[in-house]
Amino acid sequence: MKVTPLHPSLGAEIAGVDLSRPVDAPTREALGRALGEHLALVFHDQTLTPEQYLRAASVFGPPMEQHYSQHNMPDFPLIGLIWHRNGQQPAEAWHTDHTNRERPPAATILYGVEIPSAGGATSVASMRAAYDALPADEQRRLESLTTFNGLDGKPDTREEDRAKYGHLVEHPMVRTHPVHGSRAVYFHVSKTDHVSGMTPEASKPYLNGLLERMIRPEIIYQHRWRKGDVLVIDNRATMHRAHGDYDRAESRVLWRIIVEGDRPRLA
Ligand SMILES: [Fe+2]
């Protein structure tokens, strides 16, 4: 296994690992450490069945249910289909996944099955670097805040998903990475009902203002997809977004698996 950094802030390419085959214990451990350090891992030229993909994803944690179950692969409900032809819009706002869960995903894993000829990248921003760049008094302020997270009100959300995942879950706005030990800013604007001590109306402009200041080009790795890529994103210390700048006559199909992580905490 060879790890090659892709960008000064985050991202690394992993060579020498065939994810269609079982991954041995030392490699699993090395991959877990590499994810905590580099925050986004890229594997090229993978050919995976849904079963092989689920087994590979479990290297990073147990695959967990996704709450927009209307987009799940029919025979493999732990795999979500990202595809505009089933009515989804590319998620173009910066976010980290499924913050409305008590144990939100440690990682989001994407497998490039159909890739448009131009555009449609996925960008990942290091919220560890974002935290480090804040002035000390603002770091202290964010450390004193929590967010209350629910579903973000997509109109086609199924009733059963609303019932299971619609209640508010509180998380710290700065969390300590369980593997790396560093701190990162952690929130999801549209899943946040409110920030502690703020009204819902005041919370969203506050969070959007933070994003505008914090996410600068130098903390972003942009992944330009090739068919067969697997991109593993560390949700504990990054935010990501999709780029909708591709021709909708072409297809962009990503298979998504999220894997369970720890309960966010500030240590
Ligand atoms: Fe996402």
Cα(142) to ligand 1 centroid in Å equals 23
Distance CA 210, CA 213 (A): 5
Cα(96) to ligand 1 centroid in Å equals 6
**Rounded to an integer, what is the distance from CA 232 to the centroid of its chain?**
8
Return the pLDDT at 47: 98
* Contact (CB, 8 A) for 195 and 208: no
Cα(211) to ligand 1 centroid in Å equals 16
Reported as type and span, the H/E element at residue 208 is: helix 200-214
- What pLDDT band is residue 32 in, cutting at 50, 70 and 90? very high
* Contact (CB, 8 A) for 73 and 255: yes
Position 153 pLDDT exceeds 80? no
Q: Which residues are registered as beta bridge partners of 28?
A: none
In three-state secondary structure terms, 50 is helix
Cα(249) to ligand 1 centroid in Å equals 23
Decide: residue 10, CB within 10 A, 0-12 exposed, 13-18 middle, 19+ buried: buried
| Model pTM score | 0.96
**Model confidence over 219-267: pLDDT tens digits?**
999 999 999 999 999 999 999 999 999 999 999 999 999 999 999 999 9
Distance CA 239, CA 245 (A): 19
Position 36 pLDDT exceeds 90? yes
Tell me what percent of the residues of the chain surpass a pLDDT of 70.
100
Q: Which two tokens stand for residue 192?
A: 């946040």
Q: Per-residue pLDDT averaged across 183-195, rounded?
A: 97
Token pair 């959300």 is at which residue? 157
Q: Which two tokens stand for residue 87?
A: 């009515």
Q: Per-residue pLDDT averaged across 195-215, rounded?
A: 98
Q: Per-residue pLDDT averaged across 161-169, rounded?
A: 89
User: In sequence order, what E strands does the chain have?
Assistant: 2-5, 12-15, 40-43, 63-64, 72-73, 76-82, 105-114, 122-126, 146-149, 169-172, 174-176, 183-185, 192-195, 220-223, 230-234, 238-242, 253-260
Cα(241) to ligand 1 centroid in Å equals 7
Return the pLDDT at 254: 97
Cα(97) to ligand 1 centroid in Å equals 5
Cα(240) to ligand 1 centroid in Å equals 6
Which amino acid is it at 39? L
**Model confidence over 40-90: pLDDT tens digits?**
999 999 999 999 999 999 999 999 999 888 899 999 999 999 999 888 889
Cα(200) to ligand 1 centroid in Å equals 22
Q: Which residues are registered as beta bridge partners of 171?
A: 147
Q: Per-residue pLDDT averaged across 156-181, rounded?
A: 92
* Contact (CB, 8 A) for 258 and 64: yes
Return the pLDDT at 70: 86
Cα(233) to ligand 1 centroid in Å equals 9
Q: Which two tokens stand for residue 1?
A: 């296994």
Return the pLDDT at 87: 81
Ion ligand 1 — residues with CB under 5 Å?
Answer: 97
Cα(254) to ligand 1 centroid in Å equals 12
Cα(136) to ligand 1 centroid in Å equals 29
Cα(89) to ligand 1 centroid in Å equals 12
* Contact (CB, 8 A) for 46 and 230: yes
Q: Per-residue pLDDT averaged across 115-139, rounded?
A: 98
Which amino acid is it at 88? Q
